[in-house]
Amino acid sequence: MIGAILAGGASSRFGGAPKGLHTVAGVRIIDRVVGALREVSSEVILVSNAIDAPRWLTGARVFGDVRGERGSLVGIHTALAQARSSVMVVAWDMPFVTSELLRFIQERGGDEPFATVPEGSGGLEPFCAMYTPACLPVFESALDSGEFRMSTVLERLPSLTRIPVSEITTIGDPSRLFFNVNSAADLALAERMSS
C-alpha cells in the first residue's frame, strides 16, 4: 500500500499560498498527513505540479500530474498510475486525519477490488480514501469524457465499499477527521480545534 498526498489546486482562497505548508499547532499540515500515512503505508508519495514540491518533504517521491486536465480526479489518477499498486489518498489540507482512521479504511477495503471511501457528515470523502489500480481505466474514461466530479466518477466504478458515517464515529468525530483547510478562516478554526 502506497500513501499518496494530493497537493493540488491553486489555493486561490489562500491568495495562492500552498495550503499544506501552513502550520496547525506548530506542525505543518503536510507533516501531519505524512505522520498518519506512514503508519499504514510502505511509502509516501506526493502528487503536485509545484516547482518547489520536491523540497517540501524528505524522502518522498514527487510526481506531477500525468494528464493536463485540472481537477482532483487527475491527482488520484496520477497517484494510481505512478504507484502501480493500491493507494491510500489523502488531501494535503486535512490536518486532523489519523492513522487510526486510515487503518480502518484499509481494513474495511481489504477485499474491495476498486475503491473504499468513507462517509463524513456531508457525504462521501473521496480525498481520504483507498483506490486500487483497477480504478485506472474508469478514471481515464471519465477524464476522456470531461467528467471531473468525484461523486459521479465513483458511481461509474463496478463496485465501491462505502464506510457509513456511523462507523466512522467509532474512530472519532467525522467533522474533525475530514476537516480541510481552504481559507485563512479555516486555518484559524483548525488552530482553535487543535487546542
Per-residue pLDDT of the chain (195 residues; tens, 9 = 90+): 899 999 976 555 666 678 899 999 999 999 999 999 999 999 999 999 999 999 999 889 999 988 888 888 999 999 999 998 999 999 999 999 999 999 999 999 989 999 999 999 899 999 999 999 999 999 999 999 999 899 999 999 999 999 999 999 999 999 999 999 988 999 999 999 998
Number of domains in the chain: 1
How far, CA to CA in Å, does 29 sit from each of 72, 96, 136, 172?
Answer: 18, 9, 28, 19
Per-residue model confidence (pLDDT) at position 116: 97
116 within domain boundaries: yes
Q: CATH no. for residue 141?
A: 3.90.550.10
User: How far apart, in whole angstroms, are the C-alpha atoms of residue 59 and residue 75?
Assistant: 20
Per-residue model confidence (pLDDT) at position 18: 84
Per-residue model confidence (pLDDT) at position 59: 85
Per-residue model confidence (pLDDT) at position 72: 86
Per-residue model confidence (pLDDT) at position 9: 60
195 within domain boundaries: no
Sign of CA dihedral 57, 43, 116, 163: negative
194 within domain boundaries: no
Per-residue model confidence (pLDDT) at position 128: 97
130 within domain boundaries: yes
For residue 173, the enclosing domain spans 2-189
48 within domain boundaries: yes
